[in-house]
């Protein structure tokens, strides 16, 4: 097993990224020597070459890799090169792999990781653990936050880590002088969660009801909802449907699904109903395309409102 190859696994993207960043801090490598790759965008050969190359201006470097599961689709000769690297890694390089899902046992990539890498699983948090996490998030920047403010923030972001992070930044800027965040600040700055609207928008998107999809989107934009926030909620809804479909395949009943997602029985009924109707391949296709759109927006390739609008018009 290599001392310099790490795999971080979590179904929660925010916690996964947080865990990886904490590991990077502990390794204490010059930021200039931290490289990030995504196998959706980079060639295997380029990543392998970088892993085998000595670092500049320091003794060590870090290479972070996403979408490692795509190695399963590589040519045999290319995959063998990865095996050879894992068997004898560059001692100057720390390889950190971000994995949102555990691959099946039949996956040769999963077998490779299990054989040669240190694997750290990051469990998702339970609802009752969120308040303390939020308080520590503000405490880290020397801010005080009231219990009522924490409750209001969690309610309005629907326990979504990415939205929590975005809204926390907004609240800290607003309360920069006092360093105290109260419930009234949350009510003023953070919009109520979009649960019902996004639920309806996602259903119309999957049903290919373009007119209704665009109508809901325009209504949300008119209410000054951030397109990135809308996009995040749509992605979360699709992931929830995929997760629900997998549970249904395992024989989960409505009450068990309600318990698993910590939701009311009535909502579990509609989640079960919608998951049964949804096509798994279509859900995965939307998820991949929306993830690509999210990347394009955040990298400045396309305007956030225009990008989401064009996607919904073309879906």
C-alpha 95/C-alpha 86 separation (Å) is 10
Pick the closest to residue 14 from 106, 111, 133, 114 (CA basis).
Answer: 133
Can you tell me which residue has the tokens 């395949």? 249
Q: What is the pLDDT of residue 57?
A: 64
Q: What is the pLDDT of residue 262?
A: 79
HSE-up of 113 (CA within 13 Å, CB side)?
27
Q: What is the dihedral of CA 253, 255, 260, 261, to 10 degrees?
A: 110
Pick the closest to residue 93 from 41, 44, 49 (CA basis).
Answer: 49
Q: What is the pLDDT of residue 225?
A: 84
Residue-by-residue pLDDT tens, the chain, 315 positions: 447 899 999 888 888 988 999 999 999 888 888 999 999 889 999 999 999 987 666 678 999 999 999 999 999 999 999 999 999 999 889 999 999 877 888 899 999 999 999 999 988 788 888 999 899 989 989 999 999 999 989 877 877 787 888 899 999 999 999 999 999 999 888 876 567 778 888 888 998 899 889 988 887 887 788 899 899 889 988 999 999 999 998 888 888 888 888 776 767 888 888 888 889 899 999 999 999 999 999 888 999 999 999 999 886
CATH 1.10.8.60 residue ranges for the chain: 127-189
C-alpha 194/C-alpha 156 separation (Å) is 8
C-alpha 313/C-alpha 315 separation (Å) is 6
Is CATH 1.10.8.60 correct for 127-189?
yes
C-alpha 183/C-alpha 144 separation (Å) is 12
CATH 1.20.272.10 residue ranges for the chain: 195-314
Q: What is the pLDDT of residue 31?
A: 87
Q: Where are the beta strands (DSSP E) in the chain?
A: 5-9, 34-38, 61-66, 93-99, 118-121, 144-145, 180-181
**Alpha carbon distances (Å) from 23 to 5, 18, 71, 97, 168:** 12, 9, 24, 11, 23
CATH 3.40.50.300 residue ranges for the chain: 5-121
CB 83, CB 54: distance < 8 Å: no
CATH of domain 5-121: 3.40.50.300
Q: What is the pLDDT of residue 142?
A: 95
Q: What is the pLDDT of residue 183?
A: 93
Q: What CATH architecture is 195-314?
A: Up-down Bundle (1.20)
């Amino acid at each position: 097993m290599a001392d310099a190859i790490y795999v971080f696994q979590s179904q929660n993207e925010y916690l996964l990224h947080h865990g990886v960043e904490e590991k990077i801090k502990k390794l204490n490598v010059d930021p200039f020597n931290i490289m990030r790759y995504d196998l959706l965008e980079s060639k295997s050969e380029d990543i392998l070459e970088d892993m085998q190359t000595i670092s500049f201006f320091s003794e060590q470097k870090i290479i972070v890799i996403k979408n490692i599961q795509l190695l399963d689709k590589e040519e045999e000769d290319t995959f063998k090169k990865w095996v050879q690297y894992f068997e004898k890694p560059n001692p100057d390089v720390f390889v950190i792999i971000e994995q949102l899902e555990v691959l099946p046992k039949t996956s040769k990539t999963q077998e490779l990781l299990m054989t040669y890498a240190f694997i750290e699983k990051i469990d998702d948090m339970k609802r009752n653990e969120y308040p303390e996490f939020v308080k520590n998030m503000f405490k880290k920047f020397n801010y005080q936050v009231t219990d009522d403010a924490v409750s209001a923030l969690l309610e309005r972001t629907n326990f979504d880590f990415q939205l929590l992070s975005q809204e926390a930044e907004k609240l800290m800027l607003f309360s920069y002088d006092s360093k105290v965040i109260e419930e009234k600040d949350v009510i003023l700055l953070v919009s109520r969660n979009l649960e019902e609207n996004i639920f309806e928008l996602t259903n119309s998107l999957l049903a290919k009801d373009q007119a209704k999809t665009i109508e809901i989107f325009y209504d949300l934009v008119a209410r000054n909802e951030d397109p990135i926030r809308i996009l995040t909620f749509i992605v979360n809804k699709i992931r929830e449907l995929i997760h629900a479909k997998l549970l249904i395949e395992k024989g989960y009943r409505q009450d068990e699904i309600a318990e698993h997602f910590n939701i009311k029985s009535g909502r579990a009924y509609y989640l079960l109903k919608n998951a049964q109707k949804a096509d798994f391949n279509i859900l995965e296709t939307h998820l991949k395309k929306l993830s690509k759109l999210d990347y394009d927006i955040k990298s400045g390739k396309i305007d956030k409102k225009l990008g989401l609008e064009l996607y919904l018009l073309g879906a």
